[in-house]
Amino acid sequence: MGKLDSKVPSGPLADKWTKHKNEIDLVNPANKRNIDIIVVGTGLAGGSAAATLAELGYNVKTFCYQDSPRRAHSIAAQGGINAAKNYQGDGDSAYRLFYDTVKGGDYRSREGNVYRLAEESSNIIDQCVAQGVPFAREYGGLLDNRSFGGVLVSRTFYAKGQTGQQLLLGCYAAMNRQINRGKIKPFNRHEMMDLVLVDGKARGIIARDLVTGEIERHSAHAVVLASGGYGNVFFLSTNAMGSNVMAAWRAHRRGAYFANPCFTQIHPTCIPVSGDHQSKLTLMSESLRNDGRIWVPARKEDAEDIRSGKLKPTQLKEEDRDYYLERRYPAFGNLVPRDVASRAAKERCDAGFGVNKTGEAVYLDFASAIQRYGKEEALTHGMKDADEKEIIKLGKEVIESKYGNLFQMYEKIVDENPYETPMMIYPAVHYTMGGLWVDYNLQTTIDGCYCIGEANFSDHGANRLGASALMQGLADGYFVLPYTIGDYLSDDIRTGEIPTDSPEFDHAEKEVRERIEKLMSGSGQHSVDHYHKILGKIMWNKCGMSRNAEELQEAIDEIAELRKDFWDNVKIPGSSDAMNAELEKAGRVADFLELGELFAKDALTRNESCGGHFREEYQTEEGEAVRDDENFKFVSAWEYKGDPKDAVLHKEDLKYENIELKTRSYK
């Protein structure tokens, strides 16, 4: 099996990034204006990278399938962004953020990348404040923090429940400045269809104008992929419905290794599935676990009465409730990492204690927090003898100030008032830790093809801690890629403009057109959604919160059969040379049908449980994950060889020189 060169610098952990920046080659300002860079995806990672690269002087082209970068799925991030500023004075540091991230990922991430992320986290906050991002502030004017799962400190900066939106608007403003200067040329409503290699280097893309249907050629000296994760392989997820794997998968088919596809995060705090009519799921921010207590009835008969409507949750006494996270994990309580909380919820529901009609929901209750905050507010206002009604009123006002938009969203969807009745939540697919393999410079196994944000695998291991996605995306875009890409581009200062009339572009465009023609020539028996929903059920049932060897092999066989049927019988109305939303979906689902099989294959080869990858064969009596550090302390990087069943596994051994590997405990 091949060896992968991560290019992590030698020397002490805390010095690696500084040393690397001092030693890599640079491109001087006069030469940057002669170099073109394509950025695919304009969420937080792509938008911040595009703005920064353009500010440095490069000529940037951006591509997104939405009508505006403001529509990127980054806007949906609610809870916050981590940074080791230690504003709370509770003992935080860059090392502790690094340690929490590696431990939270169950010791399956690369030390050098994660420490760099922790180092740059503080710079991100300063950058965003300078852009005008309205982070929450304490009474004295300092930025406020709250806690997220898997940590014992408060390091999460937030803007109510709209953190992603506010960060994206800051990023978009930075992009607009460069667009007005002519340094960024935006191509909205365009989708990358293929990556073009010239002499083994990424030199451009083939894109489709989603409004006119026109196939276009775009060249550059380097291509940056920032196209997000692949959670929609499950059909139902918290991702935007358009989120897809196409850009990353096109690069994978051209030679970029795909790493750890089976490392997918199930978020514990989502609105439960309500029926087959749904096309996506809605996230309730992890920040709610700061103040919400998670519970189910302690007796099955009470759970049955709640499911049948005979009993309301507010009628259950404290002693009749099982606050199971607080019971099982007293040190962290409701703020255990997402994979731990998700499995615990599934275990309670599988045991018959679920509380909605399907039996797949638990409660997230704010009654205690309302009481606590109400009493604090009453005393703060000098109301020493406040009655119960006044205390509850004051407590609700505090909760509204912290989470108001989230509570409003829940009430609109569920038609229940979460201030009065506990929220119902259940785990759902949320984030993908896997993605294209990248080295320390964020370069894939294709020269000149870089990958940043959720589209790469690099920083989160087998489980991402909450509020770290925004941190990684902005660190990659603002502070890492703009340095490291110069090391590669320094060899291109005399290359000149890359022509698009070369045989390589001809061949790539020909293959794109042939693929579209093949999609359009299906017999027309079933819609695209028909295949996507079947794939999603296979993935959720056999590759979801828990997996086993028998069902993973079944998934591999079933997905391969489904993929063949898709290409033979899919129905795509309309034409390929005009706006065609079904054709867009079909291309994306075709890639999911390949990725899904590789996902299952990756999960089948990893004979251990770690983080979000839970193999039923490898667990303790208490249902906790059992890692195998001797045999599986590596990154799985898959090389494309045609069918997913023929993919070749390459391993990057993970070295832990600064952290002692332990059984991951949150008790």
Q: Which residues are catalytic?
A: 338
DSSP 8-state assignment for residue 212: T
Q: Taking the mean position of all CA atoms in its chain, how far away is CA 143?
A: 25
549-569 and 528-543 helices, crossing angle to 10°: 170
The Cβ-side half-sphere exposure at 415, using a 13 Å CA radius, reads 1
DSSP 8-state assignment for residue 352: I
Cα–Cα separations (whole angstroms), residue 33 to 55, 494, 496? 11, 12, 11
Closest by Cα among 63, 282, 75, 269 to 185: 63
The Cα–Cα gap between 465 and 82 comes to 9
The Cα–Cα gap between 148 and 467 comes to 7
CB 117 within 8 A of CB 100: no
Q: Residue 216 is inside which H or E element, if any?
A: strand 215-219
Count, in order, helices (H) and strands (E) of the chain: 19, 19
Buried b / exposed e along 522-544 (16+ C-beta atoms within 10 A):
beeebbbebbbebbbebbbebbb
Three-state DSSP at 282 gives: coil
Q: Which residues contact 503 (CB under 8 A, 6 or more apart)?
A: none
Q: Using the Cα atoms of residue 467, residue 470, residue 473 and residue 478 in order, give the sign of their dihedral.
A: negative
- Name the token pair of 10: 């030698």
- At 72, phi and psi to the nearest 5? -60, 150
Q: Which residues contact 557 (CB under 8 A, 6 or more apart)?
A: none
The Cβ-side half-sphere exposure at 17, using a 13 Å CA radius, reads 17
